[in-house]
Amino acid sequence: MPLTKMKLIAIIPILLLAVIGCKKSNPASDTPNNSNTNSNDPNQYDIVIYGATSSGVIAAVQAVKLGKSVVLISNYARIGGMTTNGLSNTDIGNDKIVGGLTKQFYEKIGHYYGNNNPIYRFEPKAALQVFNSYISDNKIVVLYNERLLLKNGVEKADGKIKDIILESGKKIMGEEFLDTSYEGDLMAQAGVSFTIGRESNYDYNETYDGLANPFKIDVDPYINAGDPKSGLLPRISTLNSPQRGAKSDLIMSYNFRLCLTNEAGNKATITKPADYNEQQYELLFRALKKDSSISLSAMINLPGNKFDANSSGSPFSFDYLGGNRAYVNADYTTREQIKKDHQTYDQGLLWTLQNDSRVPESVRKSYSQYGLAKDEFLDNNNWPDEMYVRETRRMIGLAVLTQSNILNKVTVNDPIGMGSYKIDSHNVEFYVTNGILYAEGEVEQNINGPYGISYKAIVPQSKDCTNLLVPVCLSATHVGFCSIRLEPQYMILGQSAAIAASLAIDNNTTVQDVDYAKLKPLLLANKQILSY
């Protein structure tokens, strides 16, 4: 029988109450739901993701696919972290362990180049296009050029983050938070336990940690060669009693991953920096005088007649040894100055290798063919927006992944993804002891196969915070981190973190109490690879 007008009016309030009381979308659903938790406040979300690295972008995509309202906070105008900022030759390890949205990303890179297979070497602009399509296709809210207040930037209650406050004054509220930044600023502000530097070999019964692999460099370290009273050249420290394996508060060196080309029509000339300091390259000049064949950089072929310029493992390379000592705990102004110093050093190194008469002619000729790619980083004079921040804070979470995990001597029972890359630490410092110059910190150690990464490694201790996950500055020793610290692993862990955060919301539980028996099927349903 047709409804009368009066009956319809009586039923409407009941229908409205039913709609309001409906449960949120099933966490395994692929149907996007961009509604905020509190529709009356546009700054409240189910999941707040701080750091638009590759990990952050993938986490945001996954959270939207699970029906959660999401905001992605980017410190820059460009998203994607190092994947879009020059780290174009992907350190992939065993690609059979790459699944889920991470594999899909590299497949989309393949499609960009007209290939149906995943591609792991690409132009920065290709990666940016794919990530930007993720944002638009999934209608993800992104706050660009926003940074967390470094003092009083996090408000907590009952062990949970209530909201975060950005430099712009915006207050962002959420049920769950992910710190997907390279620096771990949200984690630190939230009062989560962390460490900086390299443990001693004895702390976790490791063999590659602490002060590592010091090797002698047959180059005079003094400003006036042979005269200790003249002082040391720049960036050389004095270390009187080097003990291999001893604890160190220093971290891997940083650099810029430049996108270079030798194509005349697309090549921007490398100019001499305004604040160029020739003394920064004195060690290089002396080393080249002794041996003109030393390795100075790795030029890795990319599509489009381009090259990913990276450190070659030599201390005389794009890695600015000693330049990052103050970075981690510094304010933003100091970090920007450190970043500027790294740009000056890397740009100055290229200019020096191309132009300085103290560089052998054969070396100058080799480097003179390169320039910055004009069709990359158009908003920053063809220079990457982000410096390669290889290592900063590392959380001390529910579990600490160590050398034993990486070498499969100890396996985990709650994997949320896998790693497979070698233990790879770049040089940390130059130092002088007894008048002899050394470099130390480089570790390149192969491992014996893929290993699982524990859910507990991205979870803080309960006493620290109960609604935060940390998939980038995760809980690992320096040695463990040196295998996990790759863009594919950051993406894998970002996706898994978003699934876990969604599950915590749906089950009204803390991140510590997420039931792995429930989490594992969701990871597998979203095509994560948990065993090999």
| Residue 110: exposure state from Cβ atoms within 10 A (0-12, 13-18, ≥19) | middle
In a domain, 412, yes or no: no
pLDDT of residue 1: 38
pLDDT of residue 313: 81
Give the C-alpha separation, 109 to 246, whole Å.
Answer: 43
Task: Please compute the mean of the pLDDT values over residues 147-170 and round it to a whole number.
Answer: 97
Q: 3-class SS at 388?
A: strand
In a domain, 532, yes or no: no
Give the C-alpha separation, 121 to 300, whole Å.
Answer: 9
Tell me what the pLDDT averaged over the chain comes to: 92
Give 98's contacts (C-beta < 8 A, 6+ positions apart).
92, 106, 118, 488, 492, 529
Domain end (from 328, 346, 380): 380
Task: Please compute the mean of the pLDDT values over residues 231-260 and round it to a whole number.
Answer: 92
pLDDT of residue 41: 67
Domain end (from 380, 403, 432): 380
336 and 479 inside one domain: no
| Residue 284: exposure state from Cβ atoms within 10 A (0-12, 13-18, ≥19) | buried
In a domain, 318, yes or no: yes
Give the C-alpha separation, 382 to 361, whole Å.
Answer: 27
Helix (H) or strand (E) holding 419: strand 415-419
Give 337's contacts (C-beta < 8 A, 6+ positions apart).
none
| Residue 137: exposure state from Cβ atoms within 10 A (0-12, 13-18, ≥19) | exposed
38 and 112 inside one domain: yes
79 and 179 inside one domain: yes
Examine the pLDDT at 17 and tell me if it is beyond 70. no
376 and 452 inside one domain: no
The C-alpha angle 342, 347, 350, rounded to 5 degrees, equals: 130
Query: Token pair of 59, please?
Result: 């986490």
Half-sphere exposure of 447 (CA within 13 A, CB side): 26
187 and 265 inside one domain: no
Examine the pLDDT at 130 and tell me if it is beyond 90. yes
In a domain, 279, yes or no: yes
47 and 137 inside one domain: yes
Q: Tokens 């620096």 correspond to what residue?
A: 183
Taking only the tens place, the pLDDT of each residue in 42-58 is: 799 999 999 999 999 99
Examine the pLDDT at 201 and tell me if it is beyond 60. yes
Structural domain containing residue 103? 24-195+447-525
Task: Please compute the mean of the pLDDT values over residues 509-518 and round it to a whole number.
Answer: 98
Task: Please compute the mean of the pLDDT values over residues 58-64 and round it to a whole number.
Answer: 98
127 and 266 inside one domain: no
pLDDT of residue 209: 94
185 and 65 inside one domain: yes
pLDDT of residue 239: 80
Residue 383: band (very low, low, confident or very high) from pLDDT cuts 50, 70, 90: very high
Query: Token pair of 313, please?
Result: 């493992």
In a domain, 313, yes or no: yes
* CATH number (domain holding residue 76): 3.50.50.60
Contact call for residues 504 and 459 (beta carbons, < 8 A): no
pLDDT of residue 270: 98
For 37-41, 174-178, 242-246, 400-404, which range has the lowest pLDDT when averaged over its residues?
A: 37-41
Give 20's contacts (C-beta < 8 A, 6+ positions apart).
none
Q: Helices 100-112 and 124-137 meet at what angle, rounded to 10?
A: 120
42 and 170 inside one domain: yes
Examine the pLDDT at 353 and tell me if it is beyond 70. yes
In a domain, 458, yes or no: yes
Taking only the tens place, the pLDDT of each residue in 111-128 is: 999 999 999 999 999 999
Give the C-alpha separation, 350 to 380, whole Å.
Answer: 18
Examine the pLDDT at 152 and tell me if it is beyond 80. yes
Examine the pLDDT at 38 and tell me if it is beyond 70. no
For 4-13, 270-279, 336-345, which range has the lowest pLDDT when averaged over its residues?
A: 4-13
Domain end (from 359, 380, 401): 380
Examine the pLDDT at 36 and tell me if it is beyond 50. no
In a domain, 205, yes or no: no
Examine the pLDDT at 21 and tell me if it is beyond 60. no
44 and 191 inside one domain: yes
265 and 339 inside one domain: yes
Taking only the tens place, the pLDDT of each residue in 386-432 is: 999 999 999 999 999 999 999 999 999 999 999 999 999 999 999 99
133 and 269 inside one domain: no
Give the C-alpha separation, 417 to 59, whole Å.
Answer: 14
In a domain, 530, yes or no: no
Task: Please compute the mean of the pLDDT values over residues 269-286 and round it to a whole number.
Answer: 97
Examine the pLDDT at 269 and tell me if it is beyond 60. yes
Q: What's the structural domain count of the chain? A: 2
Sheet of 306-310: strand order equals: 267-268, 371-373, 258-261, 306-310, 298-302
Q: Say what percent of the chain tops pLDDT 70.
A: 92
Task: Please compute the mean of the pLDDT values over residues 438-452 and round it to a whole number.
Answer: 96
Task: Please compute the mean of the pLDDT values over residues 165-177 and round it to a whole number.
Answer: 98
Taking only the tens place, the pLDDT of each residue in 67-92 is: 999 999 999 999 999 999 999 999 99
Q: 3-class SS at 44?
A: strand
Q: Tokens 């443990």 correspond to what residue?
A: 199
Task: Please compute the mean of the pLDDT values over residues 157-180 and round it to a whole number.
Answer: 98
Q: 3-class SS at 335?
A: helix
Name the CA radius of gyration of the chain, rounded: 25
